[in-house]
Amino acid sequence: MKQHDYWNQVAATKQFTTPFQADVFAQYVEPSAQILDVGCGYGRTLHQLATAGFTNLLGVDFAEEMIQRGQNQYPDLDLRVMAPGVLPLATASCDAVILFAVLTCIANDQEQEQLIAEIQRVLKPGGILYVNDFLLNSDARNQQRYQQYKSQHGGPYGVFELPEGAVCRHHDPQWIKHLLHSFTQLEYHPLTFTTMNGHQSNGFYYLGRNK
């Protein structure tokens, strides 16, 4: 199943569970800042920011059904459908970009690098990038599915397929460090998250400043 089809299919039922570190984010980003949430889903994170007093918020996602749910659930938010690729914003137009559990949906190294480069383009110099995502796990269940996918399809270790057919990825911390090397790291904290399907997984949140 294609990623686009999966997220449209589950848009009405999935509840995002991993926590957004709003208090940490607010230490680096002003309430009046122009904030872009890439892969915003149904707008949960932007709703949290709006409730906290942030006013210039834009969310984009490639899943039409996710955006429709968000527009119904949070009608005051600016949520838009975005085709994969170039972000629909001018260069150096954003004060902050949020990338919340998006890398896990991109199995390919090069596609992840292209997304980070595009985010860096739309961020102002000194702008803030917030990333929340999943790290490799060492339990037998995850190791088995990492190895099974790699044996069948190749690609980086940590990629796996959900029973519903969507492809996801857990990341080596060294890959995350490489991927975000062009930002100045402000925060990096490993955590344990509960996934959408109710499992425990290693994860992290990161804040970096655009150089």
Does CATH place domain 3-134+172-210 in 3.60.110.10?
A: no
Q: Could you tell me where the beta strands, DSSP code E, fall in the chain?
A: 34-38, 56-61, 79-81, 94-100, 123-134, 159-161, 167-169, 183-194, 200-210
pTM metric for this prediction: 0.94
- The mean pLDDT of the chain is 93
Residue 166 pLDDT class (50, 70, 90 cuts): confident
Give the integer Cα–Cα distance in Å for 42 and 68: 8
**In the structure encoding, which two tokens stand for residue 153, read together?**
């399809």
Q: Is the pLDDT at 52 greater than 90, yes or no?
A: yes
Looking at residue 71, the DSSP 8-state letter turns out to be H
Residue 156 pLDDT class (50, 70, 90 cuts): very high
List residues bridging with 203 in a β-sheet.
Answer: 134, 191
Tell me the CA distances in angstroms from 185 to 3, 25, 34, 95, 205, one per residue in order.
Answer: 30, 13, 20, 16, 11
Give the residue extent of every domain in the chain. Answer: 3-134+172-210
Say what the pLDDT of residue 7 is: 67
pLDDT tens for residues 84-108?
888 989 999 999 999 999 999 999 9
